[in-house]
Amino acid sequence: MDGLILAGDVGGTKTQLGLFEHSAGNLSLVREHRYATAEFASLEAVCANFLGAGVVNAACVGVPGPIIDGRGHATNVPWQLSTATLSRALNGVPVRLLNDLTAIAYGMVHLEPAEFVVLHRAENPPQHGNIAVIAAGTGLGESALVWEGNENKYYAVASEGGHSDFAPHGTEQIELLRFLTGEFGHVSYERVLSGPGLWNIYSFLRLESHVEEPAWLKAEIAAGDPSAAVSEAALAGRDPVCVHALTMFCDIYGSEAANLALKVLALGGVYLGGGIAPKILPMLTGGAFVKGFLAKGRLNEILKRIEVRVSLNPATGLLGAAHYAAAML
């Protein structure tokens, strides 16, 4: 069935909406807009602003947090999220809320090769296989695409794996865990693999270094996003503690990406989404990520067969939601 589709990607900071036309099995973007999430009282309100008097035939929106019985339990968004409420606001059309990483996962399989950067080239990969998706941003999201050979398609599996226990390797990371346990009690991977997580790593290393924070760095941290200031200083090589922090971040990112790959036997590849990876590509490609990825002892031979890619398309979740909605028509 042809028709118009509303797709969305909701985040704690920004909400991206897109209007797509589905015709003859193809999707084409009509228009899109990015909103500040905090400026709206509800998902329905931001959708009304985007659509105006326009109508759609189906809608799908990716939101952070688990979806249980049609209701979203967003971790960083204050909205009450419900498929029934959104459907009523859209004149009763079919509506689906997806975990944001589920939407990103569905979007990954629709990207062009030029929209990826390869971090680890696989040795003799199979033609098809499960895919692991991991995305560090405001938080840490994880998902998987399960390959169903009989149907020749992928099914996305929702996950809250980013909140599982951080497992350090090496003496320094063990000390990092001790430091963060004192700060937070429970230490999940999200406490280290996220924007705030990079700041946590830096805070630990700055304390351990016994080296005073440079005045210029202190000013940049105070003026804006502390994690961004640390990341930019690291990429420019301006401060050794910042370089150390981002290197450790990449090492842990590689390790957790491998953990997820082993849990779902992701012979179809590991895809990195989220906003952080494209911004720190020079560091990700510098060796620390792959070092962490290939540090699983006897299972390294399997990991060598798994390709790791970074998505460069910031609208991957929007694209995944649109394709999911198209299947609902």
Q: Residue 233: is its pLDDT beyond 90? A: yes
Q: What is the mean pLDDT of residues 24-50?
A: 95
Q: What is the reported pLDDT for 68?
A: 94
Cβ contacts of residue 216 below 8 Å, gap of 6+? none
Average pLDDT of every residue of the chain: 95
Two tokens, residue 112:
């062009």
Q: What is the reported pLDDT for 329?
A: 87
Q: Residue 1: is its pLDDT beyond 80? A: no
E strands, 51-192, are 58-63, 67-68, 71-72, 81-82, 95-99, 116-120, 131-136, 140-148, 153-157
CATH topology of domain 113-312: Hexokinase; domain 1 (3.40.367)
Lowest-pLDDT range of 13-22, 143-152, 167-176: 143-152
Sorting pLDDT into bands at 50, 70 and 90, what band is 2?
confident
The Cα angle at residue 19 between residues 14 and 23, in degrees rounded to 5? 150
Q: What is the reported pLDDT for 45?
A: 97
Q: Residue 265: is its pLDDT beyond 90? A: yes
Do the two domains 3-106+315-328 and 113-312 of this chain adopt the same fold? no
Contact 153, 106 (CB under 8 A): no
pLDDT digits (tens, 9 = 90+) for 72-96: 988 778 899 999 999 999 999 999 9
Domains of the chain, by residue range, sit at 3-106+315-328, 113-312
pLDDT digits (tens, 9 = 90+) for 92-137: 999 999 999 999 999 999 999 999 999 999 977 887 899 999 999 9
CATH architecture of 3-106+315-328: 2-Layer Sandwich (3.30)
| pTM summary value | 0.93
